[in-house]
A and B are shown apart, each in its own frame.
Chain A
Amino acid sequence: MMRLLRVIRAQLRASLALALQYRLEFLVEGLLALLWMAVTLVPLLVVFGARGTVAGWSFAEMLVVLGWFVALKGVLEGTLSPSLMQVVEHVRKGTLDFVLLKPADAQLLVSLSKIEPWRVIDFAGAAVIFTYAFRQIGHAPSAADLLLSAALLLAAVLVLYSIAILVVSIAFVAVRVDNLLYLFQSVFDVARWPSSVFRGALAMIFTYVLPLALMTTYPALALLGKLNARTALGALLGAFVFAGLARLIWLSSIRRYTSASS
């Protein structure tokens, strides 16, 4: 376990040093993260400029969903996407073997191989959004709600991570997987709205097929104290099953890769 942490720390340090090499880019990317946060907020402001509630959600409640969205987008674009792009590159250049040869878990190495440190701004932004939202609501979330929503956040990150791992597993079979990742990133944009905005078939898809509801809507509901225990438990369970499945598929595709490339 300690070794695992050391590996993670070393990877983070390397990524940070790499990111700092590019001075201009560092500044620009930091500002960019802020800009994109503003871009995410503008539509919400405009929509609620016209309406008091939308699909049963007030402005403040919708902000909570958006807060989770911003935070998770930070996770996705700050660690998962760049790392996975790295894998795609490895597979294309045939240098993945170097990664597989290292005496640490390949999935771990692969999924943290590159981070973009300026994405920390996303978390700060999410915190600001939460603070503002609960000021508007008038009371802070209870400790129990906080705990539940933290648990659900964990589930959300796990699902996000698993989807990314699944995408990479495909990389071993079909090479141009960067596009799939890109597609997923853009589909993830749907998670900026609570799932109840959607109706009919779309609502079903975003809850069960691509569990976007689990990523932002459920943690938000939990924080607002509106999520019932059964849904929460179901979501957590679902997330772990999903992660286990992704791990299995990862292992089997690694095996196939190593046996095929020898």
Chain B
Amino acid sequence: MIEVEHLRKWYRVHRREPGLKAALRSLLHRPYEDVKAVEDISFSIGAGERVGFLGPNGAGKTTTLKVLAGLLHPTEGRVAVGGFLPQERAREFLTQITLVMGQKQQLLWDLPPSETFALNRAIYDIPRAQYEETVAELTALLELAPLLGKPTRQLSLGERMKCELAVALLHRPKVLFLDEPTIGLDVSMQATVRTFVRAYNERFSATVILTSHYMEDVAALCPRVMVIDKGRLIFDGALPDLIRRVRPDKRVLLRLSKPVEQRDLLPLGTIISQNDAEVIIQVSQEGLQASVARALSTLPLRDLTVEDPPLEEVMRDLFAQGNAA
């Protein structure tokens, strides 16, 4: 569905320095510099896949997304989406894709969302029957019924996002580009958005590409992740593999039936936290079996669980490593 070969995207920008003097100087001479937003990225994504783009701010995620959507032309390399060259902006291409940006909206601010629906029906030339079916379906899935008649400005952020998603999907696109779709939403609304995107993906076997700051989004939605850092693709694979690679350790959570001495715990691994009833220990992948066996035989346990390190921590480590390299 999506083929990217040796994609490069450079911008030339003028450098702005703070302060009055620098501003005055820049009236006469304006320094330029090249920003290498994307540096030689290649990948391919099959139809129906859900892929998450991970990376710190300014890593090149959104740039890559915009190149895929045809908004930006690649400086070098070849990009094909659904058999089209995105930058040609063919009508057939545009009717197959959609872009949702968490911070930008296409809903008309002072009119009810239903008005934007009607407008998009005309713009995408959606057959009446299909339109009505899609609207009914989206309304049911996202519980839009009470929202469609209210002016957009009166909706809460979460309600607006639901309508924003619906309007972006009216034409049943085959490729969804989601740029920070859950930004600013509360936890339950984030979950709603995730469930919905997944349902849409399964129902229409649409390809989904997501960028998000919330690891939960990526963990819940995307079997495959791509880590982009400083314009380069540094990982492409399943999330558990990524975690294993960055943090090859596990966490053993022990629930105790009675307090134990610290020296009894030390042989198991590194203690992360300890109180009378609960202990968390960090254990290397290889030492896991021995530690668990030892804990089971020597400690007064009520319960024992083995977990991956928290995702946010994995990410922090990942980009800290990247910055050190």
Residues of A within 8 A of B (CB): 13, 16-17, 20-21, 23, 26
Contacts and interface: CB of A to CB of B under 8 A. Distances in A.
A257 B168 CA distance: 37
Contacts, number: 18
B16 A20 contact: no
A26 B24 CA distance: 11
B83 interface: no
A27 to B, nearest CB: 8
Interface centre among B18, B23, B27, B30 (most CB of A within 10 A): B23
Contacts of A16: 20
B27 A17 contact: no
A135 B16 CA distance: 47
Interface string B2-21: 00000000000000101110
Nearest to B30: A23
A17 B20 contact: yes
A23 B26 CA distance: 7
Contacts of A21: 16, 23, 26
Contacts of B18: 17
A17 B30 CA distance: 15
Interface residues of B, number: 9
Contacts of A13: 20
Given A17-B20, A21-B26, 14 more contacts: A13-B20, A16-B20, A17-B18, A17-B19, A17-B23, A20-B20, A20-B23, A20-B24, A20-B26, A20-B27, A21-B23, A23-B26, A23-B27, A26-B27
A26 B26 CA distance: 12
Interface string B231-253: 00000000000000000000000
Nearest to A175: B153
B270 to A, nearest CB: 44
Interface in B15-46: 16, 18-20, 23-24, 26-27, 30
Chain B interface main SS type:
helix
Contacts of A23: 26-27, 30
Nearest to A22: B23
Interface string B67-104: 00000000000000000000000000000000000000
A21 B27 CA distance: 8
Interface of B: 16, 18-20, 23-24, 26-27, 30
A67 to B, nearest CB: 30
Chain A interface main SS type:
helix
11 contacts: A16-B20, A17-B18, A17-B19, A17-B20, A20-B23, A20-B24, A20-B26, A21-B23, A21-B26, A23-B26, A23-B30
A120 to B, nearest CB: 15
A21 B22 CA distance: 9
B28 to A, nearest CB: 9
B152 to A, nearest CB: 14
Nearest to A23: B27
B109 to A, nearest CB: 11
A26 B27 CA distance: 9
A26 B28 CA distance: 12
A21 B20 CA distance: 9
Contacts of A26: 27
A21 B19 CA distance: 9
Contacts of A17: 18-20, 23
B15 to A, nearest CB: 12
A233 B312 CA distance: 71
Interface centre among A13, A16, A21 (most CB of B within 10 A): A21
Contacts of B30: 23
B179 to A, nearest CB: 21
Nearest to A20: B23
Nearest to B21: A17
A108 to B, nearest CB: 22
A56 to B, nearest CB: 47
Contacts of B24: 20
A13 B21 CA distance: 11
A142 B95 CA distance: 75
B137 to A, nearest CB: 35
A94 to B, nearest CB: 12
A104 B16 CA distance: 30
Contacts of B23: 17, 20-21
A21 B15 CA distance: 11
A23 B18 CA distance: 14
A23 B16 CA distance: 11
Contacts of B16: 21
A19 to B, nearest CB: 8
Nearest to B20: A17
Nearest to B26: A23
A96 B20 CA distance: 26
A-B pairs, top 3 by smallest CB distance, nearest first, are A20-B23, A17-B20, A17-B23
A187 B196 CA distance: 52
A70 to B, nearest CB: 26
A23 B30 CA distance: 9
A20 B27 CA distance: 7
B213 to A, nearest CB: 21
B154 to A, nearest CB: 13
